[in-house]
Amino acid sequence: MLTMTDKKLGYDDLQPLMALQTGDEKHDAASTSTLDVLWVLYDEVLDIAAERINDPARDRFFLSKGHGPRPYYAVLAAKGFIPVDWLATFGGFDSPLGYHPDRNLVPGVEVSSGSLGHGLPLAVGAALGLRAQGIGARIVVLVGDAELDEGSNAEATEFAAAAGLSALTVVAVDNSSASWPWRGGLETRFEVAGWHAVRVDGRDHAALAGALARRTESDAPNLVVVEVEAAS
């Protein structure tokens, strides 16, 4: 079994780290669709490290798609936020790694999530709070395309653009699981509200890093649509 003392863990270790997490509620499709974007965020984009989890100036990542936390836990373990040994306890009665992430139990987790439609509104509130304190940290929130069917996200989308929350980036994983999809629909919905939007290949790490690192020169928040294979 991999341990934190074996070696510095990297992208090639993520699948073995995910394989340690067994159980009845693995949500494989939801999990595998986010693996690459999570790695790129934590390896190349976010200004955050295990030793700085309480730094007010740190960037924040919110996993709104909380029903698929296995790759999130794998990345947190690879980056030293949590022990690798925790992964094998995934979903256990006494385990801190629940089927939905809990900010009170898992170091590095910013919000408890899993109820779809909550992550983006929470990120909007956090972005407002940081701006009020004069903190220029970024907020990145990962949502699923089907999650955007929730009305709370429509309200948050409109408000974020009107408030000029340029430090906010939404990563929308498009695996064709939304109830009412249409080609390019995610970008259109956000652009109409005043967002900057771009679509990238969800397995292309260079494209992901370029899109996720971008901050608009205007006050517009950012949408990065991450296109992956259709959900099974």
CA distance 37 to 136: 22
Please indicate, yes or no, if residue 121 is contained in any of the structural domains: yes
CATH code for the domain in which residue 84 is found: 3.40.50.970
Range of the structural domain that residue 193 is part of = 14-227
CA distance 71 to 26: 10
Please indicate, yes or no, if residue 45 is contained in any of the structural domains: yes
What is the number of domains present in the chain?
A: 1
Please indicate, yes or no, if residue 31 is contained in any of the structural domains: yes
| Integer Rg of the chain from CA | 17
CA distance 226 to 62: 16
Please indicate, yes or no, if residue 4 is contained in any of the structural domains: no
Question: Mind listing the pLDDT tens digit of every residue in the chain (232 residues)?
Answer: 444 445 689 999 999 999 999 876 656 666 678 999 999 999 999 999 999 999 999 999 999 988 889 999 999 999 999 999 999 999 898 999 999 999 999 999 999 987 788 899 999 999 999 999 999 999 999 998 888 888 889 999 999 999 999 999 999 988 776 655 565 678 888 999 999 999 999 999 999 999 999 876 679 999 999 988 755 4
3-state secondary structure of 215: coil
Please indicate, yes or no, if residue 2 is contained in any of the structural domains: no
Q: Name the residue type at position 121.
A: P
